[in-house]
Amino acid sequence: VDAIVIGAGLGGLLSAAHLLQRGKRVVVLERLPHSGGRFTAKNFHGVQVSTGAVHMVPFGSSGVLSHMLQRLHVPHRLFDADVFGSFHAHGKTYRARGLLGVLKFFSPRQSWWFLRLGWLMFFQPLPEEERRLPFDLWLERHIPVEQCPQLVAFFASIARFALSLELHQVSTAEVVNTTKNMLRYGAPAIVKGGCGEITRQLEQIVHSYNGEIRLSCEVLQILQEDGVVNAVRVKQKDTGEEELIQAPLIVSDIGPRATDGLLHNCRVKQADVLKPKDTASSSDEAASAHVQEAVGLKVHILSDVSLIPHKGIMYCLDTQRIAGMVQPTNSDPTLAPAGKHLLISHQVIQSNNVEEERALALSDLRYLFGETFDKHCQILTMGTYRGEWPVNRISQGEDVDPQLDVRGLYMVGDAVKPSGYLMVEGVAQSVNNFLDLLEN
Ligand code: FAD
Protein backbone atom coordinates (compact mmCIF):
# COMPACT_ATOMS: atom_id res chain seq x y z
CA VAL A 1 0.00 0.00 0.00
CA ASP A 2 1.00 3.66 -0.39
CA ALA A 3 -0.28 4.85 2.99
CA ILE A 4 -1.23 3.41 6.36
CA VAL A 5 -3.67 5.29 8.59
CA ILE A 6 -3.52 4.36 12.28
CA GLY A 7 -6.97 4.81 13.84
CA ALA A 8 -10.37 5.01 12.12
CA GLY A 9 -11.51 8.07 14.10
CA LEU A 10 -12.86 11.07 12.20
CA GLY A 11 -9.31 12.33 11.53
CA GLY A 12 -8.18 8.94 10.21
CA LEU A 13 -11.22 8.43 7.96
CA LEU A 14 -11.03 11.97 6.53
CA SER A 15 -7.31 11.54 5.81
CA ALA A 16 -7.89 8.16 4.18
CA ALA A 17 -10.69 9.55 1.97
CA HIS A 18 -8.44 12.40 0.77
CA LEU A 19 -5.49 10.12 0.05
CA LEU A 20 -7.73 7.69 -1.84
CA GLN A 21 -9.19 10.56 -3.84
CA ARG A 22 -5.61 11.38 -4.86
CA GLY A 23 -5.15 7.88 -6.22
CA LYS A 24 -3.19 6.37 -3.31
CA ARG A 25 -3.76 2.82 -2.07
CA VAL A 26 -4.68 3.12 1.61
CA VAL A 27 -5.29 0.83 4.54
CA VAL A 28 -6.88 2.11 7.76
CA LEU A 29 -6.08 0.09 10.90
CA GLU A 30 -8.48 0.32 13.83
CA ARG A 31 -8.09 -1.58 17.06
CA LEU A 32 -11.79 -1.44 18.01
CA PRO A 33 -14.43 -3.54 16.24
CA HIS A 34 -15.97 -0.33 14.81
CA SER A 35 -14.87 2.89 13.10
CA GLY A 36 -15.51 6.45 14.21
CA GLY A 37 -13.57 6.63 17.48
CA ARG A 38 -15.12 9.37 19.61
CA PHE A 39 -17.36 10.56 16.75
CA THR A 40 -19.85 7.78 16.34
CA ALA A 41 -22.82 6.35 18.22
CA LYS A 42 -24.40 3.08 19.23
CA ASN A 43 -28.08 2.32 19.15
CA PHE A 44 -29.24 1.81 22.74
CA HIS A 45 -32.97 0.99 22.94
CA GLY A 46 -33.62 3.21 19.91
CA VAL A 47 -31.44 6.11 21.13
CA GLN A 48 -28.24 7.20 19.35
CA VAL A 49 -25.84 7.15 22.31
CA SER A 50 -22.57 8.66 21.20
CA THR A 51 -19.06 7.43 21.94
CA GLY A 52 -17.97 11.04 22.53
CA ALA A 53 -19.37 14.02 20.64
CA VAL A 54 -22.82 15.32 21.53
CA HIS A 55 -23.86 14.95 17.83
CA MET A 56 -22.80 18.54 17.36
CA VAL A 57 -20.53 20.21 14.79
CA PRO A 58 -19.19 23.47 16.28
CA PHE A 59 -19.19 25.73 13.18
CA GLY A 60 -22.28 24.23 11.59
CA SER A 61 -23.06 24.01 7.89
CA SER A 62 -20.58 26.79 6.97
CA GLY A 63 -17.72 25.24 8.95
CA VAL A 64 -14.52 23.48 7.98
CA LEU A 65 -15.84 19.94 8.49
CA SER A 66 -18.97 20.56 6.44
CA HIS A 67 -16.94 22.04 3.57
CA MET A 68 -14.54 19.11 3.70
CA LEU A 69 -17.40 16.60 3.56
CA GLN A 70 -18.84 18.45 0.57
CA ARG A 71 -15.47 18.34 -1.24
CA LEU A 72 -15.25 14.62 -0.55
CA HIS A 73 -18.86 14.14 -1.78
CA VAL A 74 -19.84 12.64 1.58
CA PRO A 75 -23.65 12.93 1.89
CA HIS A 76 -24.57 14.66 5.13
CA ARG A 77 -27.09 17.11 6.52
CA LEU A 78 -26.51 19.56 9.35
CA PHE A 79 -29.24 21.40 11.24
CA ASP A 80 -27.84 24.78 12.27
CA ALA A 81 -28.90 26.12 15.66
CA ASP A 82 -31.76 28.62 15.56
CA VAL A 83 -30.31 30.68 18.44
CA PHE A 84 -26.88 31.88 19.61
CA GLY A 85 -27.76 29.95 22.74
CA SER A 86 -29.83 30.10 25.84
CA PHE A 87 -28.38 30.86 29.24
CA HIS A 88 -29.54 29.47 32.57
CA ALA A 89 -28.73 32.18 35.10
CA HIS A 90 -30.32 33.36 38.38
CA GLY A 91 -32.61 30.29 38.22
CA LYS A 92 -34.13 31.40 34.87
CA THR A 93 -33.44 30.69 31.21
CA TYR A 94 -32.69 33.60 28.87
CA ARG A 95 -32.80 32.98 25.13
CA ALA A 96 -30.33 34.90 22.95
CA ARG A 97 -30.94 34.96 19.19
CA GLY A 98 -27.62 36.66 18.50
CA LEU A 99 -24.53 37.49 20.55
CA LEU A 100 -25.97 40.77 21.79
CA GLY A 101 -29.03 38.94 23.10
CA VAL A 102 -26.91 37.98 26.11
CA LEU A 103 -27.19 41.57 27.34
CA LYS A 104 -30.67 40.56 28.61
CA PHE A 105 -29.29 38.86 31.66
CA PHE A 106 -26.35 41.18 32.39
CA SER A 107 -26.85 44.21 34.60
CA PRO A 108 -26.28 47.55 32.76
CA ARG A 109 -22.84 47.78 34.35
CA GLN A 110 -21.84 44.27 33.27
CA SER A 111 -23.26 44.95 29.79
CA TRP A 112 -20.92 47.89 29.49
CA TRP A 113 -17.92 45.75 30.46
CA PHE A 114 -19.09 43.04 28.06
CA LEU A 115 -19.12 45.51 25.16
CA ARG A 116 -15.70 46.79 26.18
CA LEU A 117 -14.31 43.22 26.18
CA GLY A 118 -15.81 42.70 22.73
CA TRP A 119 -14.05 45.81 21.48
CA LEU A 120 -10.72 44.61 22.92
CA MET A 121 -11.13 41.09 21.56
CA PHE A 122 -12.35 41.88 18.06
CA PHE A 123 -11.19 45.37 17.18
CA GLN A 124 -7.84 45.72 18.92
CA PRO A 125 -4.64 43.78 18.25
CA LEU A 126 -3.90 41.50 21.20
CA PRO A 127 -0.59 42.68 22.73
CA GLU A 128 2.12 40.00 22.48
CA GLU A 129 2.53 39.77 26.26
CA GLU A 130 -1.20 39.07 26.68
CA ARG A 131 -1.35 36.22 24.16
CA ARG A 132 -0.16 33.47 26.56
CA LEU A 133 -1.91 34.98 29.56
CA PRO A 134 -4.53 32.59 31.03
CA PHE A 135 -7.93 34.04 30.14
CA ASP A 136 -9.03 34.50 33.78
CA LEU A 137 -6.01 36.77 34.39
CA TRP A 138 -6.72 38.68 31.19
CA LEU A 139 -10.28 39.30 32.43
CA GLU A 140 -8.91 40.51 35.77
CA ARG A 141 -6.65 42.90 33.91
CA HIS A 142 -9.49 44.46 31.90
CA ILE A 143 -12.66 44.33 34.01
CA PRO A 144 -13.49 44.54 37.73
CA VAL A 145 -14.25 40.80 37.94
CA GLU A 146 -15.69 40.88 41.46
CA GLN A 147 -18.40 43.26 40.18
CA CYS A 148 -19.09 41.13 37.10
CA PRO A 149 -19.99 37.61 38.32
CA GLN A 150 -22.44 36.93 35.44
CA LEU A 151 -19.92 38.01 32.86
CA VAL A 152 -17.23 35.71 34.27
CA ALA A 153 -19.76 32.84 34.55
CA PHE A 154 -20.74 33.45 30.90
CA PHE A 155 -17.16 32.95 29.66
CA ALA A 156 -16.57 30.06 32.08
CA SER A 157 -19.63 28.08 30.94
CA ILE A 158 -18.75 28.51 27.25
CA ALA A 159 -15.11 27.45 27.87
CA ARG A 160 -16.28 24.43 29.87
CA PHE A 161 -18.84 23.30 27.31
CA ALA A 162 -16.91 24.06 24.10
CA LEU A 163 -13.34 23.40 25.22
CA SER A 164 -13.76 21.34 28.38
CA LEU A 165 -11.42 23.77 30.12
CA GLU A 166 -11.52 26.18 33.02
CA LEU A 167 -10.66 29.79 32.23
CA HIS A 168 -7.25 29.48 33.89
CA GLN A 169 -6.41 26.56 31.57
CA VAL A 170 -6.82 28.41 28.28
CA SER A 171 -4.74 31.23 26.86
CA THR A 172 -6.22 34.57 25.86
CA ALA A 173 -5.03 34.15 22.26
CA GLU A 174 -6.88 30.86 22.02
CA VAL A 175 -10.12 32.30 23.42
CA VAL A 176 -9.89 35.25 21.00
CA ASN A 177 -9.14 33.05 17.97
CA THR A 178 -11.85 30.55 18.83
CA THR A 179 -14.47 33.23 19.49
CA LYS A 180 -13.62 34.98 16.21
CA ASN A 181 -14.09 31.71 14.34
CA MET A 182 -17.37 30.98 16.14
CA LEU A 183 -18.70 34.32 14.91
CA ARG A 184 -17.12 34.02 11.46
CA TYR A 185 -18.50 30.57 10.67
CA GLY A 186 -21.79 30.72 12.55
CA ALA A 187 -23.94 28.62 14.79
CA PRO A 188 -23.19 25.01 15.71
CA ALA A 189 -25.28 22.27 14.15
CA ILE A 190 -26.66 18.84 14.95
CA VAL A 191 -25.85 16.09 12.46
CA LYS A 192 -28.86 14.39 10.85
CA GLY A 193 -28.70 10.78 11.99
CA GLY A 194 -26.16 11.76 14.65
CA CYS A 195 -22.37 11.64 14.46
CA GLY A 196 -22.50 7.92 13.62
CA GLU A 197 -24.07 8.83 10.27
CA ILE A 198 -21.01 10.83 9.18
CA THR A 199 -18.78 7.92 10.17
CA ARG A 200 -20.93 5.48 8.16
CA GLN A 201 -20.86 7.71 5.08
CA LEU A 202 -17.09 8.15 5.35
CA GLU A 203 -16.62 4.39 5.61
CA GLN A 204 -18.63 4.02 2.41
CA ILE A 205 -16.51 6.61 0.61
CA VAL A 206 -13.31 4.81 1.70
CA HIS A 207 -14.71 1.51 0.43
CA SER A 208 -15.97 3.06 -2.82
CA TYR A 209 -12.36 4.04 -3.65
CA ASN A 210 -11.25 0.47 -2.82
CA GLY A 211 -9.64 1.57 0.41
CA GLU A 212 -9.47 -1.01 3.18
CA ILE A 213 -10.57 -0.52 6.80
CA ARG A 214 -9.32 -3.31 9.03
CA LEU A 215 -11.25 -3.44 12.28
CA SER A 216 -10.06 -5.12 15.50
CA CYS A 217 -6.56 -4.64 14.16
CA GLU A 218 -4.20 -3.01 16.63
CA VAL A 219 -0.96 -1.35 15.60
CA LEU A 220 1.73 -2.51 18.02
CA GLN A 221 4.76 -0.79 16.55
CA ILE A 222 5.79 1.78 13.96
CA LEU A 223 9.02 0.75 12.24
CA GLN A 224 11.60 3.10 10.78
CA GLU A 225 14.97 2.89 9.14
CA ASP A 226 17.45 5.77 9.10
CA GLY A 227 14.80 8.18 10.33
CA VAL A 228 12.23 7.22 7.67
CA VAL A 229 9.06 5.21 8.44
CA ASN A 230 8.54 2.07 6.42
CA ALA A 231 6.09 -0.28 8.14
CA VAL A 232 3.83 -1.08 11.07
CA ARG A 233 3.53 -4.29 13.04
CA VAL A 234 -0.10 -5.17 13.71
CA LYS A 235 -2.08 -7.77 15.61
CA GLN A 236 -5.46 -8.98 14.37
CA LYS A 237 -7.35 -9.29 17.65
CA ASP A 238 -9.72 -12.15 16.73
CA THR A 239 -7.00 -14.51 15.40
CA GLY A 240 -4.06 -13.24 17.44
CA GLU A 241 -1.97 -13.20 14.25
CA GLU A 242 0.74 -10.60 13.86
CA GLU A 243 1.98 -9.21 10.55
CA LEU A 244 4.05 -6.39 9.07
CA ILE A 245 2.41 -3.93 6.68
CA GLN A 246 4.78 -1.75 4.68
CA ALA A 247 4.20 1.77 3.35
CA PRO A 248 6.28 4.91 2.86
CA LEU A 249 3.60 7.13 4.44
CA ILE A 250 2.01 6.68 7.87
CA VAL A 251 -0.74 8.92 9.21
CA SER A 252 -1.38 8.64 12.94
CA ASP A 253 -4.78 9.61 14.38
CA ILE A 254 -3.95 8.49 17.92
CA GLY A 255 -2.14 11.49 19.38
CA PRO A 256 1.51 12.13 20.23
CA ARG A 257 1.73 10.03 23.38
CA ALA A 258 0.49 6.80 21.78
CA THR A 259 2.36 7.51 18.51
CA ASP A 260 5.58 8.02 20.43
CA GLY A 261 4.86 4.79 22.32
CA LEU A 262 4.51 2.86 19.04
CA LEU A 263 7.80 4.30 17.76
CA HIS A 264 9.37 2.85 20.94
CA ASN A 265 7.49 -0.44 20.60
CA CYS A 266 5.34 0.07 23.67
CA ARG A 267 1.62 0.48 24.17
CA VAL A 268 0.46 3.39 26.31
CA LYS A 269 -2.26 2.04 28.60
CA GLN A 270 -5.18 3.86 30.21
CA ALA A 271 -3.62 3.38 33.66
CA ASP A 272 -0.38 5.07 32.48
CA VAL A 273 -2.28 8.10 31.25
CA LEU A 274 -4.38 8.40 34.43
CA LYS A 275 -1.42 7.98 36.79
CA PRO A 276 -1.05 11.12 38.93
CA LYS A 277 1.86 13.18 37.63
CA ASP A 278 3.85 12.97 40.91
CA THR A 279 3.84 9.15 40.89
CA ALA A 280 4.90 8.84 37.24
CA SER A 281 8.36 7.39 36.62
CA SER A 282 10.84 9.32 34.48
CA SER A 283 10.07 7.15 31.42
CA ASP A 284 6.31 7.78 31.90
CA GLU A 285 7.07 11.45 32.13
CA ALA A 286 9.02 11.32 28.88
CA ALA A 287 6.06 9.64 27.19
CA SER A 288 3.56 12.15 28.55
CA ALA A 289 5.71 15.26 28.19
CA HIS A 290 3.77 18.29 26.96
CA VAL A 291 0.54 16.29 26.75
CA GLN A 292 -2.41 17.65 28.69
CA GLU A 293 -5.79 16.34 27.68
CA ALA A 294 -9.17 17.96 28.33
CA VAL A 295 -11.47 15.77 30.41
CA GLY A 296 -15.21 15.68 30.94
CA LEU A 297 -18.35 13.93 32.10
CA LYS A 298 -21.33 13.50 29.80
CA VAL A 299 -24.89 12.39 30.61
CA HIS A 300 -27.40 11.03 28.07
CA ILE A 301 -30.97 11.57 29.26
CA LEU A 302 -34.22 10.36 27.71
CA SER A 303 -37.21 12.52 28.55
CA ASP A 304 -40.97 12.20 27.98
CA VAL A 305 -41.24 15.97 27.74
CA SER A 306 -39.22 18.58 25.91
CA LEU A 307 -36.93 20.49 28.30
CA ILE A 308 -35.01 22.77 25.92
CA PRO A 309 -37.16 24.63 23.37
CA HIS A 310 -34.50 25.34 20.69
CA LYS A 311 -31.83 23.68 18.55
CA GLY A 312 -28.82 25.36 20.15
CA ILE A 313 -26.85 24.98 23.36
CA MET A 314 -28.28 25.85 26.75
CA TYR A 315 -25.30 27.20 28.72
CA CYS A 316 -25.59 26.85 32.48
CA LEU A 317 -24.17 29.74 34.50
CA ASP A 318 -25.65 28.93 37.88
CA THR A 319 -24.96 25.19 38.24
CA GLN A 320 -22.28 23.45 40.27
CA ARG A 321 -20.81 21.42 37.38
CA ILE A 322 -22.94 21.10 34.26
CA ALA A 323 -21.66 23.66 31.76
CA GLY A 324 -24.22 23.18 29.03
CA MET A 325 -26.86 20.93 27.52
CA VAL A 326 -28.35 20.18 24.14
CA GLN A 327 -31.54 18.47 23.06
CA PRO A 328 -30.47 17.03 19.68
CA THR A 329 -33.92 15.51 19.00
CA ASN A 330 -35.19 19.09 18.39
CA SER A 331 -33.15 18.92 15.16
CA ASP A 332 -33.51 15.24 14.35
CA PRO A 333 -36.30 13.43 16.21
CA THR A 334 -35.06 10.05 14.91
CA LEU A 335 -32.15 10.15 17.38
CA ALA A 336 -34.62 8.80 19.99
CA PRO A 337 -37.81 6.70 19.85
CA ALA A 338 -40.95 8.52 18.64
CA GLY A 339 -42.31 10.99 21.17
CA LYS A 340 -39.15 10.94 23.34
CA HIS A 341 -36.50 13.63 23.68
CA LEU A 342 -32.76 13.03 23.94
CA LEU A 343 -30.83 15.47 26.11
CA ILE A 344 -27.06 15.50 26.63
CA SER A 345 -25.24 17.41 29.34
CA HIS A 346 -21.53 18.09 29.51
CA GLN A 347 -19.23 19.22 32.30
CA VAL A 348 -15.52 19.43 33.04
CA ILE A 349 -14.32 16.94 35.66
CA GLN A 350 -12.77 19.11 38.33
CA SER A 351 -11.52 16.42 40.73
CA ASN A 352 -10.41 12.79 40.69
CA ASN A 353 -13.49 11.86 42.68
CA VAL A 354 -15.71 10.54 39.89
CA GLU A 355 -18.56 9.60 42.26
CA GLU A 356 -18.70 13.17 43.51
CA GLU A 357 -18.67 14.52 39.94
CA ARG A 358 -21.60 12.24 39.07
CA ALA A 359 -23.51 13.30 42.17
CA LEU A 360 -22.99 16.96 41.27
CA ALA A 361 -24.27 16.30 37.74
CA LEU A 362 -27.43 14.74 39.17
CA SER A 363 -27.95 17.55 41.62
CA ASP A 364 -27.54 20.08 38.76
CA LEU A 365 -30.11 18.26 36.63
CA ARG A 366 -32.62 18.38 39.50
CA TYR A 367 -31.86 22.07 40.00
CA LEU A 368 -32.30 22.85 36.29
CA PHE A 369 -35.53 20.93 35.70
CA GLY A 370 -37.05 20.54 39.17
CA GLU A 371 -39.63 17.79 39.73
CA THR A 372 -39.96 17.22 35.99
CA PHE A 373 -36.57 15.60 36.02
CA ASP A 374 -37.47 12.77 38.41
CA LYS A 375 -40.94 12.39 36.93
CA HIS A 376 -40.16 12.37 33.22
CA CYS A 377 -36.48 11.66 32.69
CA GLN A 378 -34.40 8.52 32.55
CA ILE A 379 -30.60 8.59 32.68
CA LEU A 380 -29.23 6.35 29.94
CA THR A 381 -25.49 6.80 30.50
CA MET A 382 -23.26 8.90 32.69
CA GLY A 383 -19.65 8.49 31.63
CA THR A 384 -16.28 10.12 32.14
CA TYR A 385 -13.99 10.94 29.24
CA ARG A 386 -10.32 11.02 30.14
CA GLY A 387 -7.04 9.14 29.73
CA GLU A 388 -6.99 7.42 26.36
CA TRP A 389 -10.58 8.50 25.61
CA PRO A 390 -10.63 12.18 26.56
CA VAL A 391 -12.74 15.07 25.28
CA ASN A 392 -9.66 16.52 23.60
CA ARG A 393 -6.46 14.55 23.32
CA ILE A 394 -4.64 17.83 23.85
CA SER A 395 -6.18 20.91 25.42
CA GLN A 396 -7.17 23.64 23.00
CA GLY A 397 -4.19 25.88 22.29
CA GLU A 398 -1.54 23.42 23.51
CA ASP A 399 -1.63 21.28 20.36
CA VAL A 400 1.57 19.75 18.99
CA ASP A 401 3.25 19.88 15.59
CA PRO A 402 1.69 17.45 13.06
CA GLN A 403 5.07 16.64 11.52
CA LEU A 404 7.30 14.35 13.54
CA ASP A 405 11.08 13.98 13.43
CA VAL A 406 10.62 10.72 11.56
CA ARG A 407 10.17 11.27 7.82
CA GLY A 408 6.92 10.00 6.29
CA LEU A 409 5.06 10.07 9.64
CA TYR A 410 2.33 12.67 10.21
CA MET A 411 -0.29 13.25 12.87
CA VAL A 412 -3.92 14.26 12.39
CA GLY A 413 -6.79 14.52 14.84
CA ASP A 414 -7.57 16.44 17.97
CA ALA A 415 -4.00 16.61 19.26
CA VAL A 416 -2.94 18.80 16.34
CA LYS A 417 -5.84 21.22 16.11
CA PRO A 418 -4.77 24.60 14.71
CA SER A 419 -5.45 27.62 16.91
CA GLY A 420 -9.09 28.75 16.84
CA TYR A 421 -10.45 25.45 15.48
CA LEU A 422 -12.19 23.46 18.16
CA MET A 423 -13.34 19.86 18.39
CA VAL A 424 -14.20 18.24 15.03
CA GLU A 425 -13.55 21.53 13.21
CA GLY A 426 -10.01 21.21 14.61
CA VAL A 427 -9.83 17.60 13.46
CA ALA A 428 -10.90 18.60 9.92
CA GLN A 429 -8.47 21.52 9.87
CA SER A 430 -5.67 19.20 11.07
CA VAL A 431 -6.35 17.07 7.97
CA ASN A 432 -6.16 20.19 5.76
CA ASN A 433 -2.79 20.98 7.36
CA PHE A 434 -1.52 17.44 6.83
CA LEU A 435 -2.48 17.59 3.14
CA ASP A 436 -0.64 20.92 2.78
CA LEU A 437 2.47 19.43 4.42
CA LEU A 438 2.32 16.47 2.07
CA GLU A 439 2.24 18.72 -0.98
CA ASN A 440 5.15 20.91 0.11
P1 FAD B 1 -10.42 9.41 17.85
O2 FAD B 1 -11.87 9.54 17.61
O3 FAD B 1 -9.98 9.10 19.22
O4 FAD B 1 -9.86 8.27 16.87
C5 FAD B 1 -8.70 7.57 17.11
C6 FAD B 1 -8.94 6.11 16.78
O7 FAD B 1 -7.68 5.41 16.86
C8 FAD B 1 -9.86 5.42 17.77
O9 FAD B 1 -10.92 4.79 17.07
C10 FAD B 1 -8.97 4.40 18.48
O11 FAD B 1 -9.65 3.22 18.83
C12 FAD B 1 -7.91 4.12 17.41
N13 FAD B 1 -6.62 3.63 17.93
C14 FAD B 1 -5.96 4.04 19.02
N15 FAD B 1 -4.80 3.36 19.15
C16 FAD B 1 -4.73 2.50 18.11
C17 FAD B 1 -3.77 1.52 17.70
N18 FAD B 1 -2.64 1.30 18.37
N19 FAD B 1 -4.04 0.80 16.58
C20 FAD B 1 -5.18 1.00 15.87
N21 FAD B 1 -6.11 1.91 16.23
C22 FAD B 1 -5.89 2.66 17.33
N23 FAD B 1 -16.55 17.33 19.13
C24 FAD B 1 -17.43 18.07 18.44
O25 FAD B 1 -17.09 18.62 17.40
N26 FAD B 1 -18.69 18.26 18.89
C27 FAD B 1 -19.10 17.75 20.05
O28 FAD B 1 -20.27 17.88 20.38
C29 FAD B 1 -18.18 17.05 20.85
N30 FAD B 1 -18.52 16.61 22.07
C31 FAD B 1 -17.67 15.77 22.73
C32 FAD B 1 -18.08 15.23 23.95
C33 FAD B 1 -17.29 14.29 24.58
C34 FAD B 1 -17.74 13.72 25.88
C35 FAD B 1 -16.08 13.86 23.98
C36 FAD B 1 -15.28 12.76 24.58
C37 FAD B 1 -15.65 14.44 22.80
C38 FAD B 1 -16.42 15.41 22.18
N39 FAD B 1 -16.03 16.01 21.01
C40 FAD B 1 -16.89 16.79 20.31
C41 FAD B 1 -14.68 15.82 20.47
C42 FAD B 1 -14.66 14.86 19.28
O43 FAD B 1 -15.38 13.70 19.63
C44 FAD B 1 -13.20 14.54 18.97
O45 FAD B 1 -12.51 15.75 18.71
C46 FAD B 1 -13.04 13.70 17.71
O47 FAD B 1 -13.94 12.64 17.68
C48 FAD B 1 -11.60 13.17 17.70
O49 FAD B 1 -11.38 12.43 16.55
P50 FAD B 1 -9.94 11.82 16.26
O51 FAD B 1 -10.01 11.20 14.92
O52 FAD B 1 -8.90 12.86 16.48
O53 FAD B 1 -9.65 10.74 17.39
> How high is the pLDDT of residue 287?
47
Does the Cβ of 296 fall within 6 Å of ligand 1? yes
Distances (CA, A) of 209 to 73, 265, 384, 434: 12, 32, 37, 20
Going by C-alpha positions, the residue among 397, 408, 364 that lies closest to residue 169 is 397
d(CA 9, CA 5): 10
* Distance separating alpha carbons of residues 418 and 429, to the nearest angstrom: 7
52 lines ligand 1 (CB under 6 A): yes
pLDDT tens, residue order, the chain (440 aa)? 999 999 999 999 999 999 999 999 999 999 999 999 999 999 999 999 999 999 999 999 999 999 999 999 999 999 999 999 999 998 999 999 988 888 988 999 999 999 999 999 999 999 999 999 999 999 999 999 999 999 999 999 999 999 999 999 999 999 999 999 999 999 999 999 999 999 999 999 999 999 999 999 999 999 999 999 999 999 999 999 999 999 999 999 999 999 999 999 887 776 676 665 554 444 444 444 456 899 999 999 999 999 999 999 999 999 999 999 999 999 999 999 999 999 999 999 988 899 999 999 999 999 999 999 999 999 999 999 998 899 999 999 988 888 888 999 999 999 999 999 999 999 999 999 999 999 98
Who's near 192: CB < 8 A, 6+ residues apart? 76, 77, 78, 79, 331, 332
Closest residue by Cα to residue 365 from 275, 299, 288: 299
What spacing in Å lies between the alpha carbon of 100 and ligand 1's midpoint? Answer: 33
Closest ligand 1 atom, residue 35 Cα: 9
Distance 164 CA to ligand 1 centre (A): 14
pLDDT of 276 reads 59
DSSP string, 113-129: HHHHHHHHHHHSPPPHH
Cβ–ligand 1 contact at 37 (below 6 Å): yes
Distance (angstroms) between ligand 1 centre and the Cα of 10 equals 7
pLDDT at 277: 56
Longest dimension (CA), the chain: 68
- The finding on whether 261 has its CB within 6 A of some atom of ligand 1 is no
What atom of ligand 1 comes closest to residue 413's alpha carbon?
52
Phi, psi (deg, nearest 5) at residue 334: -75, -5
Say which residues have a Cβ less than 8 Å from residue 281's Cβ, sequence separation at least 6. Answer: none
* Helix, coil or strand: residue 239: coil
- Other beta carbons less than 10 A from residue 350's beta carbon: 15
Rounded Cα gap, residues 45 and 265, in angstroms: 41
Structural domains present in the chain? 3-79+194-291+396-439 (3.50.50.60), 85-185 (no CATH), 296-385 (3.90.660.50)
d(CA 257, CA 210): 31
CA angle, 168 as apex, 163 and 169 as ends, to 5°?
A: 45
Q: What pLDDT is recorded for position 190?
A: 98
Using alpha carbons, list the distances in angstroms from residue 213 to 30, 156, 245.
Answer: 7, 40, 13
Q: Specify the pLDDT at position 267.
A: 79
Environment class of 299 (CB within 10 Å of its CB; exposed 0-12, middle 13-18, buried 19+) = buried
Tell whether ligand 1 has an atom less than 6 A from the beta carbon of residue 54.
yes
Rounded Cα–Cα distance for residues 107 and 354 (Å)? 36
**Whether the CB of 29 sits within 6 Å of ligand 1:** yes
CA distances from 177 to 96, 122, 172, 233, 396 (A): 22, 9, 9, 40, 11
Q: Which of 313, 396, 423 is nearest to 58 (CA)?
A: 423
pLDDT in the model for residue 278: 53
- Separation of 38 CA from ligand 1 center, angstroms? 3
- CA dist 247 and 357 (Å) reads 45
Identify the CA nearest to 300 among candidates 381, 364, 230.
381
373 alpha carbon to ligand 1 midpoint, in Å? 30
417 lines ligand 1 (CB under 6 A): no
- Which numbered atom of ligand 1 lies nearest the CA of 9? 4
Ligand 1 atom at minimum distance from 29 CA: 20
